[in-house]
Structure 1
Amino acid sequence: MGASIDIGLDETGRPVGIDIEELLATRLLVQGNSGSGKSHLLRRLLEESAGLVQQVIIDPEGDFGTLADAYSHIVIDAGDYNEREIARMAARIREHRASVILNLESLELEAQMTCAAAFLNAMFDAPREHWYPALVVVDEAQMFAPSVAGDVPDPVRRASLSAMTNLMCRGRKRGLAGAIATQRLAKLAKNVAAEASNFLMGRTFLDIDMARAADLLGMERRQAERIRDLERGCFLGLGPAISRRPVAIRIGATRTFSRTGTHTLLPMPEAAAEDLRDRLFADEGNAPAPMPPAPRPQPIAADELISSIAPAPMAAQPAIFAARQEAEDAADAIDSEAVIVSVLRDMMAEASAASQPDALLYQDFSVRCRMQRLVRAPLDLEGFRQRLALARGGVFDPSDPVWVPVLDAAARLPQDMYAPFLLIARAAMDGQPCPDDAALGQAYGTSSPGRIRRLIDYMEKQGVIVVRADFGGRRSVGIPELGLTTGAE
């Protein structure tokens, strides 16, 4: 094995190790009901690997802040900063390989999901030269990658799910290794859970969760009852970084502890019933004044916290600025328009491009542009959406004189209708039959015949096209502004 850490003991009392190098390449999924010991397991993993790899912890409950007392982690209290500042910190973290804890405890669920999405996306979008290995631990992952819609707005859920999907599906090439923990597999999005190759399954009682856990561990259904009988702090482990066969592990002790509460019994107060009654029902006017709450520490300014994340020595600043300026000058010498056309052609050649959301495609576009030695993406998200709509209609270079009058004719349509209109225009220019409903629907992003009919009706009402049908039911489409007509289809 490579850089192995001791995670606990098996049933015979022998140590069980986790190969951190293998874990970075294959990711980890931890599952167990509340009280099964998931947070303890994650804390053991973080403590043992603290000196081996950069760690980034998404902490929705404030459980892991005590790691900063014993190790070099920096705690970021998310409630003190806005979304832009959080993204700047995430970029700085990747650049300087700082281990951090993003504490989301003070935020409501919707704000937690928004903040985590901004943080993870900024880490994911870091420049290629900052793709250092990092272990990204996400506790209560079902909150950030839910399997079904919940009480939060759909755009927030989609953004959070997209960020978690990027972490687990595409993060490995960028050095990001997800280690996620969830109370229930049924609550976690399947495409997020499926990307993990290492599993630590704790106690669970629901049949659906036991069945899924048994499937992931390669156990027969009749053996799934074993998962129900696990003690607190015991997990079944499997994966290339742990063991090639399922192994029972009792997680070892930790050096730090959570501040959030205790699971042990405390002695009851020694007071007579009359004294307790007097205290509970005492006249508020005669009751002693309550102690004032402890003052909350003043939040650290965003710029100050960002600068504290491994700032470069002052002597190195001129060299850094010179290197950046040199990189920007080199990027300016590259024909960005040619890169855009080339990247869009490559993306449209992939079958998956038709079904992926624009936000994911834009991230892919940004990475491909950086691989072409551009310092930053040459288009913002809105500009990319416009060029993507044209590319789906077969127009990669809108400055081409052939397409200028066609795009002028399309200007009266919404952006999402550009692609089907351009298919019709191309067919008219080539003297080909009108594209059928399936082709128009694929360009428009739908398979509904009703939506395709409404699409054609809308274009005709706007005066952009004229639809004709002969007695045989064959359709041809004219474009009055261009003086062109497709063949009959």
Structure 2
Amino acid sequence: MKVGIDMGTTSEGTSASLDIEELLATRLLVQGNSGSGKSHLLRRLLEQSAPWVQQCIIDPEGDFVTLADKFGHVVIEGERTDAELIGIATRIRQHRVSCVLSLEGLDVEQQMRSAGVFLNAMFDADREYWYPVLVVVDEAQMFAPSVGGDVSEEIRKVSLGAMTNLMCRGRKRGLAGVIATQRLAKLAKNVAAEASNFLMGRTFLDIDMLRAADLLGMDRRTAEMFRDLKRGSFVALGPALSRRPLRVTIGSVETSARSMSPKLMPLPEAPQDVADLIFTPDPEEFTRPVVRRTAPQPRPASDILAELSRPRPEPAAPVEAKPAQPEISAEEREALIGSLFAEIVANPEAAFRPDAELYQDFLVRCRIRRVPGTALSLSAFRRKMAVARSG
């Protein structure tokens, strides 16, 4: 079924139509500096497509939670454990409910971790739940950075791997990525290169203008046009939009973000006694305790030298090592692992849980039963799980 939604008007005065079915197969990249209208564009896309396709929004600033009142999206707070996020993502795909993962209030590392865990859980859903989902990621350069920043390498790998799975391998699992970024230069190239549809907005840096021109197949000499685009105007290209670069002005939206752009406001009329108002103290000011942080006094050099000259304390007696866990044979260990797989398969809900969640359950059971040796890898777990399910 072909469904076209209205994104606004073109420079020729005609309606700018976006083919949702084609978008699900080819993905979309939106780029524009802050204030260019990216969030407005994403909101227009989400509002117009809400009746036709399930949606999942990764929202780092909490701007899209207002969709819940109008379109019934479920708002998921990012301050949850990994197990909770995995379970919610699995049920989101199972019951085909549109949702907003709000990461507002979390620091960058927590946002990347929560988004990575949630996207990976949606990606690992069972095949029977591979229904089409429009996955919108705002500020994608945060979750798929081109270079390592201040976050740990482990968190960066989780987030970047989830974004790569979404854009590179998500199509066969029903996941259609729509990513928006302020800077193309800060977005990982292997993530951006998987999109076939583009909406390029206003940008001023030369490196971003040249990358935008290259993605649109335009002459580099015409890249200067991106500086002249007005707010809410984008250059569209792609099988779901237009076969040639086409300027589009995004239409109006029904909902609004909680955080709006700052507007000029007139100052209040100044009272006649403004100087007295400012310089006359409040009567409670003198009763209110004043807490001032004083700088610590430097330690005298004599104290430091005396401390260094003190004899070192005698080393404590070594603590007796705990008795090592008794070793078991390979056959006994294999039998113990087999019993754990049998317990997992016996649970009726195991057939509806993703492999990643079952793997975490298996590791917990291994620690409880004190299974010695190196833990199974995820790939080895999947092979043994397939054998256990087949009996």
Query: Do both proteins adopt the same fold according to a TM-score greater than 0.5, normalized to the shorter chain?
Result: yes
Change (3 A) 1:279 1:32: same
Paired with 1:276 and 1:19, the residues of 2 have a C-alpha distance of 63
Partner of 1:223: 222
Partner of 1:259: 258
Partner of 1:68: 68
Change (3 A) 1:280 1:241: farther
TM-score, normalised by the number of residues in structure 2? 0.74
Confirm whether residue 170 of structure 1 aligns to residue 163 of structure 2.
no
Q: Report the CA distance between 1:386 and its aligned residue.
A: 8.9
Q: Report the CA distance between 1:274 and its aligned residue.
A: 4.9
Give deviations 1:147-198, integer Å, cap 9, x for gaps.
0000001100111000000000000000000000000000000000000000
Q: Report the CA distance between 1:325 and its aligned residue.
A: 4.6
Paired with 1:4 and 1:281, the residues of 2 have a C-alpha distance of 65
Confirm whether residue 138 of structure 1 aligns to residue 137 of structure 2.
yes
Q: Report the CA distance between 1:384 and its aligned residue.
A: 2.1
Confirm whether residue 47 of structure 1 aligns to residue 26 of structure 2.
no
Confirm whether residue 21 of structure 1 aligns to residue 24 of structure 2.
no
Change (3 A) 1:162 1:327: closer
Paired with 2:279 and 2:102, the residues of 1 have a C-alpha distance of 36
Partner of 1:159: 158
Q: Report the CA distance between 1:267 and its aligned residue.
A: 2.2
Q: Mapping of 1:8-407 within 5 angstroms?
A: 8-79=8-79, 81-272=80-271, 274-275=273-274, 278=277, 282-283=281-282, 285=284, 325=348, 382-384=375-377
Paired with 1:284 and 1:82, the residues of 2 have a C-alpha distance of 49
SS of residue in 1 equivalent to 2:180? strand
Give deviations 1:461-481, integer Å, cap 9, x for gaps.
xxxxxxxxxxxxxxxxxxxxx
Gaps of at least 5 residues in structure 1 are 290-323, 329-362, 368-374, 389-489
Paired with 1:235 and 1:7, the residues of 2 have a C-alpha distance of 11
Partner of 2:312: none
Q: What's the % identity of the aligned pairs?
A: 61
Paired with 1:261 and 1:46, the residues of 2 have a C-alpha distance of 18
SS of residue in 2 equivalent to 1:271? coil
TM-score, normalised by the number of residues in structure 1? 0.59
Paired with 2:141 and 2:275, the residues of 1 have a C-alpha distance of 42
SS of residue in 2 equivalent to 1:137? strand
Paired with 1:378 and 1:254, the residues of 2 have a C-alpha distance of 44
Which amino acid in 2 is paired with 1:216?
L
Tell whether the 8 Å contact from 2:59 to 2:103 is kept in structure 1 after alignment: yes
Tell whether the 8 Å contact from 2:359 to 2:378 is kept in structure 1 after alignment: no
SS of residue in 2 equivalent to 1:105? coil
Change (3 A) 1:170 1:276: farther
Gaps of at least 5 residues in structure 2 are 289-346, 364-373, 382-391
Q: Report the CA distance between 1:2 and its aligned residue.
A: 1.3
SS of residue in 1 equivalent to 2:377? helix
Tell whether the 8 Å contact from 2:9 to 2:250 is kept in structure 1 after alignment: yes
Paired with 1:115 and 1:25, the residues of 2 have a C-alpha distance of 26
Which amino acid in 2 is paired with 1:383?
L
SS of residue in 2 equivalent to 1:181? strand
Paired with 2:200 and 2:279, the residues of 1 have a C-alpha distance of 45
Give deviations 1:352-399, integer Å, cap 9, x for gaps.
xxxxxxxxxxx9xx69xxxxxxx98998794127959xxxxxxxxxxx
Q: Report the CA distance between 1:271 and its aligned residue.
A: 2.4
Instruction: Name whichever of 196-205 and 63-72 sits farther off.
Output: 63-72
Change (3 A) 1:273 1:3: farther
Change (3 A) 1:104 1:327: closer
Give deviations 1:189-238, integer Å, cap 9, x for gaps.
00000000000000000100000000011100011111111001000000
Paired with 2:177 and 2:43, the residues of 1 have a C-alpha distance of 15
Paired with 2:279 and 2:158, the residues of 1 have a C-alpha distance of 48
If asked which structure has higher relative contact order (CA below 8 Å, sep 6+), I would say: 2
SS of residue in 1 equivalent to 2:6? strand
Paired with 2:283 and 2:120, the residues of 1 have a C-alpha distance of 52
Paired with 2:279 and 2:116, the residues of 1 have a C-alpha distance of 45
Q: Report the CA distance between 1:52 and its aligned residue.
A: 0.4
Paired with 1:2 and 1:118, the residues of 2 have a C-alpha distance of 33
Q: Report the CA distance between 1:275 and its aligned residue.
A: 3.1
Q: Report the CA distance between 1:69 and its aligned residue.
A: 1.3
